[in-house]
Structure 1
Amino acid sequence: MNDFEIYKKMDDDVQAIYRSRLLTEILLSLNESSRKLSQMREITGSTSQAIIPKLRKLEADHLIETKEHEYYLTQTGKIVASRLADSFATVGTINKFKHFWSGHYLEGIPCYLLKEIGCLYESEVLNDKGTKILNVYNNQLKMIKEAGHIHGVSSVVTEGYAESIFERVKEGIPVELIIPLHIADELKQSSYLEKIDALKDYENFKLMAIDEDIKAGLIVTDKRLSLSLYKKDGVEYDITTGLFSLDPKGIEWGERLFGYCKGQAEFAKMQI
């Protein structure tokens, strides 16, 4: 049975939740923590007379249970509520940053992380516009300066980035960077080579190369996430637009993306 057939078969059950504001709000509120009836009245703005029948339905469906006048999600309720929350976060993130997603190449991000894109809802997109020239670049340099650790994936290298990383490594900040092989080859023939050689003896610095083009620019620190992408054609890297997040969920998502790239780099067994 495919997804469409399952939907047709379960249409009434699915729509019962999505059509009902109260059912949805109850499940989402209980997904955060247990609640008393008075708390649910405050959260939903509804009366006890309106809420109680919905609670009885959710109890009959074995999605919630009561203990000492508090309502809790059952184990199956936790599954339904968490997926419900994920669906709203996913759609919300796509709509909130629709121009960012639609104008950029997403194929460089693995599918399992795209499915978790809702983690980036509490983010902002910065652009270089008008008098805000190098707005994205300067915010990224600020991130590096304030970081307690740095994990980066880079499709381009600039003198500013190189100098900032160089200084942070010398200060003892743990830094791990991943670059594609064509950038690695450029570094070996450029003025950056002297800085790379100077950092080789630092145990807190690791530079890795991956044997494929990276269609994203990523900086993840203990405090912030920066994500830049190639333009829609997948050819030109967009240095004028970036998604930034201070939210722990967004930072964790960025760390998972870095971990994916790091796994690919280690598999390639290419280290400078």
Structure 2
Amino acid sequence: MNNFEIYKKMGDDVQTIYRSRLLTEILLSLNEGSRKLSQLREITGSTSQALIPKLRKLEVDHLIETKGREYFLTSAGKIVASGIADSFVTFWTINKFKHFWIRHYLEGIPSPLLKEIGCLYESEVLKDRGMKILNVYNNQLKMLKEADHIYGISSVVTEVYADAISERVKEGVPVELIVPLHVAEELKRSPYLKKIEALKDYENFKLMVMDEDIKVGLIVTDKRLSLNLYKKEGIEYDISTGLFSFDSKAIEWGEMLFWYCKGKADFTKFQ
């Protein structure tokens, strides 16, 4: 049975929740913790007379239960409420940054990470414009200088970026980088080869190569996330627009993307 067939069979039940503001708000509220009726009144701005029938329905559906004077989600209710919350956050993130998504090549992001893209809702898009022609680049360099550890996926390389990484490695900051084959070949040439060789004895530096093209640029540190993508056609890397975030969920998302790619990469010392 595919998703459409499931929807046709469950459509009425699903739409009952999404069409009802109160049912949705009750589930979202209880997803954050137990609530008394008085708290639900305050959160939803509704009367007890309006809330009680909705609460009874959710009890009949075994999505919530009562203990004392408090309402709780059941185990099944936690799954449903969490799914509803995730769907809203996903739609919000897509809509909030819709111009960023539609102008870039999303296929570079692995499917498991696309499903979790709602983690990026507390982000901002920075652009190079007017006098800020290196706005994105300078913010990334600032990230590197302030980081206590650095994970990176590099679709392109520049000498200034390489120097910033080298400096942090020599200062003892743990750095792990993943590059595709075409960047790895570039690193074997001047001026990058000499910089790489200078780092070969540093245990806090790891350089890994993926045997496939990487269509993303990522810097994720203990403090911040930076995400760059290729332009919509998937041919040209966009260095002038990036998604940045200080939010812990966004940083975790970036770490998941890094570890996903690391699982497909090979470690190299460039000897």
TM-score, normalised with respect to structure 1: 0.96
Question: Residue type matched to 1:77 in 2?
Answer: G
Match of 2:253 in 1: 253
Is residue 60 from structure 1 mapped to residue 42 from structure 2 by the alignment?
A: no
The share of aligned pairs that are identical, in percent, is 79
Shift of residue 271 of structure 1? 5.1
Partner residue of 1:30? 30
Gaps of 5+ in 1: none
Matched, 1:221 2:221: yes
**Could you report, residue by residue, the CA deviation over 1:172-221 in whole angstroms, capped at 9, with x for unpaired residues?**
11100011111111111111222211111111110111111110000000
Instruction: Tell me how far 1:169 sits from its aligned partner.
Output: 0.8
Query: 2:205 corresponds to which residue?
Result: 205
Instruction: Letter of the 1:135 partner, please give it.
Output: N
The offset of 1:2, in angstroms, is 2.1
Tell me which amino acid in the other structure corresponds to 1:227: L
Deviation per CA, 1:113-140: give whole Å up to 9, x if none.
Answer: 1111111111111111112111110111
CA contact (8 A) 1:148 1:221 kept: yes
CA contact (8 A) 1:210 1:270 kept: no
CA distance in 2, matches of 1:94, 1:138: 26
Cα distance between partner residues in 1 of 2:6 and 2:218? 38
Superposed CA deviations along residues 115-167 of structure 1, whole A, max 9, x for unmatched, are: 11111111111111112111110111111111111000001111221111111
Between the aligned partners of 1:235 and 1:40, the Cα distance in structure 2 is 51
**Alpha-carbon distance in structure 2 between the residues aligned to 1:255 and 1:230:** 20
Distance, in Å, in 2 between the alignment partners of 1:271 and 1:29 is: 51
1:90 maps to 90
Match of 2:196 in 1: 196
Q: Secondary structure at the match of 2:243?
A: strand
Q: Aligned pair count?
A: 270
Matched, 1:146 2:146: yes
Does the 8 Å contact 2:159/2:191 carry over to 1?
no
Q: Which runs of structure 2 are paired with 1:74-153 in the superposition (5 Å)?
A: 74-153=74-153
- State the distance in 2 between where 1:189 and 1:195 align: 10
Structure 1 residues 201 and 271 mapped into 2: Cα distance closer, same or farther (>3 Å)? closer
Contact 2:206/2:268, CA 8 A, preserved across alignment: no
CA gap of 1:25–1:186, structure 2 versus 1, over 3 A, is: same
1:196 is matched by which residue type in structure 2? I
Q: What secondary structure, in the 3-state scheme, does the structure 2 residue paired with 1:107 have? A: helix
Q: Conserved in 2, the CA contact under 8 Å of 1:127 and 1:241? A: yes
Residue aligned with 1:179, SS: strand
Change (3 A) 1:212 1:271: farther
- Name the SS for the 2:14 alignment partner: helix
What SS is found at the alignment partner of 1:178?
strand
Structure 2 residues not aligned, in runs of 5+: none
After TM superposition, the score normalised by the length of structure 2 is: 0.97
The CA deviation at 1:246 is 1.1
Cα distance in 2 for residues equivalent to 1:271 and 1:87: 43
Note if contact 2:200-2:269 (Cα within 8 Å) is conserved in structure 1: no
Name the structure 1 match of 2:168: 168
Choose 146-155 or 159-168, whichever is displaced more.
159-168
Taking only aligned residues, the RMSD between alpha carbons, in angstroms, comes to 1.1
